[in-house]
Amino acid sequence: MGFHTIESLATATARELEPAGISIKKALDVIRLARGSISLSFVRADELLKQRQSILRLTTGSKTLDDLIGGGLETQSITEFYGEYGSGKSQICHQLCVNIQLPPERGGLGGAALYIDTENTFHTERIVSMAQSLGLDIEEVVKNIIVAEAYTSDHQIFLLENADRIIKENNIRMIIVDSLTAHFRSEYVGRETLALRQQKLNKHMHKLIRLARAFNTIAVVTNQVMSKPDVFFGDAVHPIGGHIVAHTSHTRLYLRKSARGPVRIARLVSSPYLPNGEGVFKITENGVEEVEEGDEKRRR
Interface residues with ligand GTP (CB under 6 A)? 83, 85-91, 121, 224, 262, 283-285
Please tell me the distance from the alpha carbon of residue 187 to that of residue 161, in angstroms, as a whole number.
20
Taking the complex as a whole, the smallest distance from the CB of residue 70 to Mg ion amounts, in Å, to 25
Provide the sign of the torsion angle of the four alpha carbons 74, 78, 83, 85, taken in this order: positive
Residue from 90, 144, 156, 217 binding Mg ion (CB under 5 A) = 90
Taking the complex as a whole, the smallest distance from the CB of residue 218 to ligand GTP amounts, in Å, to 18
- For ligand GTP, the closer of residues 66 and 178 by Cβ is 178
- For ligand GTP, the closer of residues 210 and 252 by Cβ is 252
Check binding of 75 to Mg ion (CB under 5 A).
Answer: no
- For ligand GTP, the closer of residues 38 and 134 by Cβ is 134
- Backbone φ and ψ for 125, nearest 5 degrees, come out as -60, -35
Mutual angle of helices 124-133 and 89-99, in 10-degree steps:
60
Please tell me the distance from the alpha carbon of residue 36 to that of residue 221, in angstroms, as a whole number.
31
Taking the complex as a whole, the smallest distance from the CB of residue 82 to Mg ion amounts, in Å, to 11
* String of DSSP letters for 51-86: HHHT--EE--S-HHHHHHTTSSEEBTSEEEEEESTT
Choose the one of ligand GTP, Mg ion, none that binds residue 217, judging by a C-beta under 5 to 8 angstroms depending on kind. none
Taking the complex as a whole, the smallest distance from the CB of residue 121 to Mg ion amounts, in Å, to 5
State how far the alpha carbon of 45 is from the alpha carbons of 152, 251, 264, 273, in Å: 40, 22, 39, 16
* Span near Mg ion by CB under 5 A; candidates 12-20, 59-67, 98-106, 120-128: 120-128
Taking the complex as a whole, the smallest distance from the CB of residue 131 to ligand GTP amounts, in Å, to 13
Q: How many residues does the chain have?
A: 300
User: Which residues here bind Mg ion, judged by CB under 5 A?
Assistant: 89-90, 121
